[in-house]
């Protein structure tokens, strides 16, 4: 059977044949295209279509994007539209080697540039920097939860937040991987920004998928670079003394540095947690006996808690107060 490549599809012709169907169409040339079906056709197709299976598809229409669509998974200007004449058949054997994955990966450093461009969802890859990733359940609304973690490509970092069931599924999958280096590809992620602290992050959308240490060239590339980078970092890492830390200028604000100290005292008079509104990423204050979020002005009966431990640390050069925040605790 002869198939047309997805790259050759145009709006000039209605009847086409292709050779693979997933949630997104991918052909043997790793070209991808969006596919849509109307509501009255969903039940007939959805029961037989399975993500990851191979199909031949024919008699569908090709439409062109108008330009005002938002949150598109792909940058293909055309998309496939199902109608009553569309036919498909599952392919059991196929002689051509199909690639298991196809992504349009973006560098982590481009995030600020595409924040205000809501046309596309994007694919990113990076190594997970968190030793433990935990799903946090909202005390205010137990049905809502989130997982927050960082990815790094060796030069740039990105914050990702997965919500509710998607976040729980990610946490379960991540626990199954015990490798030293865990590289994650997130496909069709949405760029967003917290209103309170203006922090940019990626989050999940209905089309979002995650792949942990998949067999993809980008994963091998990052794993190799991270191993080399870790060895060089260990050799070149500078350990600061407390005296040197006190002399650091403004250029070191918000930067991570290394120091070796001894905890001399834990301040048990200091409050060991702050009340927190997880949705707004903002601390909660008590006003007239009620917990009030200063950002959204909502009263919270049971705010979340962010823990911290205040300590007095010392080395041979001096003494320094150090606060260990929620993540470290």
pLDDT tens for each residue of 3-51:
565 555 554 454 555 443 446 888 877 788 888 877 777 766 666 777 7
Higher per-residue pLDDT: 16 or 201: 201
pLDDT tens for each residue of 203-245:
998 889 999 999 888 888 888 876 655 544 545 568 999 999 9
Establish whether domains 6-90 and 239-324 are of one fold.
yes
Of 103, 12, 135, 124, residue with least CA distance to 62: 12
Give the domain ranges of the chain.
Answer: 6-90, 108-228, 239-324
Paired with 214 in beta bridges are none
Q: Which residues contact 45 (CB under 8 A, 6 or more apart)?
A: 37, 82, 86, 88
Using 50, 70 and 90 to split pLDDT, how confident is the model at 327? low
**What is 108-228's CATH number?**
2.40.50.140
- Sign of the torsion angle spanned by Cα atoms 118, 13, 31, 167: positive
Q: Per residue, what are the HEC states of the chain? A: CCCCCHHHCCCCCCCCEECCCCCCEECCCCCEEEEECCHHHHHHHHCCCCCCCCEEEECCEEEECCCCCCCECCCCCEEEECCCCCEEEECCCCCCCCCCCCCCECCHHHHHHHCCCCCECEEEEEEECCCCCCEEECCCCCCCEEEEEEEECCCCEEEEEEEHHHHHHHHHHHHCCCCCCCEEEEEEEEEEECCCCCCEEEECCCCCEEEECCCCHHHHHHHHHHHHHHHHHHHHCCEECHHHHHCCCHHHCCCCCEECCEEEEECCCCCCEEEEECCCCEEEEEECCEEEECCCCCECCCCEEEECEEEEEEECCEEEEEEECCCCC
Q: Is the domain defined by 6-90 classed in CATH 3.30.420.80?
A: no
pLDDT tens for each residue of 171-196:
999 999 888 889 999 999 998 887 77
Q: What is the pTM of this model?
A: 0.61
The mean predicted confidence, pLDDT, of the chain is 80
Residue pair 11/20 in contact by the 8 Å Cβ criterion: no
- Which of 5-14, 110-119, 139-148 bottoms out in mean pLDDT, i.e. has the lowest? 5-14
pLDDT for 55 equals 83
pLDDT for 8 equals 58
pLDDT surpassing 90 at residue 312 = yes
pLDDT tens for each residue of 242-265:
999 999 988 887 777 889 999 999
pLDDT surpassing 80 at residue 284 = yes
Q: Average the pLDDT over 113-138 and give the result.
A: 86
Q: What are the tokens at 266?
A: 């834990």
pLDDT for 49 equals 76
pLDDT for 36 equals 82
Higher per-residue pLDDT: 155 or 191: 191
**What is 239-324's CATH number?**
2.40.50.140
């Amino acid at each position: 059977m002869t198939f047309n490549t997805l790259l050759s599809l145009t709006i000039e012709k209605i009847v086409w044949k292709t050779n693979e169907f997933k949630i997104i169409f991918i052909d043997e040339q790793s070209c991808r295209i969006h596919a849509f079906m109307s509501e009255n056709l969903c039940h007939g197709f959805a029961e037989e279509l399975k993500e990851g299976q191979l199909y031949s598809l024919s008699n569908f229409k090709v439409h062109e994007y108008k330009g005002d669509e938002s949150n598109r998974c792909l940058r293909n200007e055309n998309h496939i539209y199902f109608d009553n004449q569309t036919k498909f058949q599952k392919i059991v054997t196929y002689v051509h080697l199909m690639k298991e994955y196809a992504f349009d990966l973006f560098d982590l450093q481009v995030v600020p540039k595409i924040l205000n461009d809501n046309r596309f969802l994007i694919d990113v890859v990076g190594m997970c920097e968190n030793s433990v990733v935990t799903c946090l359940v909202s005390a205010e609304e137990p049905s809502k939860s989130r997982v927050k973690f960082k990815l790094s490509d060796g030069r740039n970092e990105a914050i990702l937040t997965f919500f509710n069931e998607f976040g729980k599924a990610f946490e379960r999958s991540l626990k199954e991987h015990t490798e030293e280096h865990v590289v994650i590809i997130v496909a069709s992620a949405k760029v967003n920004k917290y209103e309170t602290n203006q922090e940019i992050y990626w989050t999940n959308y209905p089309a979002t998928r995650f792949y942990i240490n998949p067999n993809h060239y980008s994963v091998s590339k990052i794993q190799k670079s991270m191993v080399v980078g870790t060895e060089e970092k260990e050799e070149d890492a500078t350990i600061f003394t407390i005296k040197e830390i006190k002399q650091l200028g403004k250029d070191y604000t918000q930067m991570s540095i290394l120091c070796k100290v001894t905890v001399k005292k834990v301040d048990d008079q200091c409050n060991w947690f702050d009340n927190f509104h997880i949705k707004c990423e903002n601390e909660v204050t008590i006003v007239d006996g009620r917990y009030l979020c200063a950002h959204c002005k909502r009263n919270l009966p049971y705010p979340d808690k962010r823990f911290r431990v205040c300590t007095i640390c010392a080395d041979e050069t001096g003494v320094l107060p150090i606060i260990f925040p929620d993540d470290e605790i």
